[in-house]
Structure 1
Amino acid sequence: MPALGLGVLQSTGDEAVAAVTTALRAGYRLIDTAAAYGNEREVGRGLRESGVPREDVFLTTKLWMTDYGFDSALRAFDTSAAKLGVDQVDLYLLHWPWPADRARTVSAYRAAERLLADGRVRAIGVANSSEDDLRALAAETDVVPAVNQIELHPNFQQPGLVAADREAGIVTQAWSPIGGVYGWAGENGAVPPLRNEVIAEIAAAHGKTPAQVILRWHLQQGRSAIPKSVTPARIVENLDVFDFALTDGDLHAIAALDTGQRGAVDPAIVTPEVIDLTIDPA
């Protein structure tokens, strides 16, 4: 899996198509979508219009909670694959834990294991899962998640969960890696990372932008990151992070910015009613 990819949360219509096409032509090889984003068709179209061969692109999509359960998860995967226009998905994730219904969550993950065994997906994993969620899943399933995709940015770093992922052999992938979640879920009293003076000073010292510094921070700590943008210049800018390195002092300074407060909803309380979405069935 490429370390850096394009996220498409809240990207819609032709804008989503253009973002995917721009990213792939610029050199991205990881595209991350989800049934809940409502743009799998557009992602598939962008993939085809990019001219980049399907086998060169690492494609992720996710299963929504209302389709948890064994049979329903298999049907939902078929729907996602049809919308994307692909026969195989590279990574299939359970989008959220559902602590109030562990049985359906486990059944959904077992369906993902079936898809893996059948070769319809190349890897399976989870998103937004805590240490408790991971332990509960491990007790009743066979395949260790390849990835745990979580909210992670300088304001909310989750070092304990990152360490637990690493110990279990799970790749931590950061969604909202630059802290854009603060733009739509509330700032919780914190300065968004892109406006943080410490990060701005580090960026100036390296001749880079704050976004590039934050993405480099993720990569140097062994994480994957999927920044979202629909602006062509920013899509290209976000990929230009492989020609410099942060110093130990830079890394310590960014570590000190952790507020311990997430920008999005707490996964411990998530249910289909808390995040109320209807997934297009066809």
Structure 2
Amino acid sequence: MKFQDQIGNTLELLKIPQRIISLVPSQTELLVDLGLEKNIVGITKFCVHPVDLKQEKTIVGGTKNIHLQKIKELQPDIILCNKEENTKEIVEFCMQIAPTHVSDIYTIEDVLELTRHYGEILNCSAKSFIIQKKLQKELNNFEQFVKDKKIEKVAYFIWKNPWMVAANNTFINHILGLNKFDNFYKNHSRYPEINLDELLKERDLGTIFLSSEPYPFKEKDIIELQGQFEKAKIILVDGEMFSWYGSRLLKAFNYFKSLHD
């Protein structure tokens, strides 16, 4: 059986994979929701959903630093990676051990495609179809919810010291757009370091979002920034809702509705 991943690599499988290593937290959660928890043998230390999974599975490192020998010893049938989350070196190493699927996620359409891929490759197409159908329904309902909302200029911070934001060519930017949030940094690429002075000049800035991850922004950060951005709303937001794809999105749209309200 031959399959193609989202960066164009071809996977050749002699059988349905039974031993899975996932190096991406949101994809690990998707596997569990696809009914494949028993097949997962290795995960990262950041795979925190469901909460008890780290107690039951072998931790093979982080998303960008892995224990190569642990991966070998687990004898996986397939390894699941992501172009952004994992380094090129990690992916190349994994390919030497087992067939490796690499996702590349920028839009909801990419999420639907990834879910379909897993259904086909991991022999869970029925559950995959259910998740895809639910996700499409949630998306359609949310688009109706926001269609009359006014566009608001925002900035989405992911790090401090140095200050870093989510810009164009990111899944976060796509999610902001779905919410009719106009990203001030949409003309920048990926996750740039920024100077607050540039943002201070933007008179139409409505809201600054401070993400819960990867930097854990707190209330004290709101106080620090509010002294400079007196007219903007500054809000702590759940970073998982904006950046985790897969089945996490089934919960995200209700969160976005509450955020608007």
Largest Rg, 1 or 2: 2
- The structure with higher relative contact order (CA 8 Å, sep 6+) is 1
- TM norm structure 1: 0.27
TM-score w.r.t. structure 2 length?
0.29
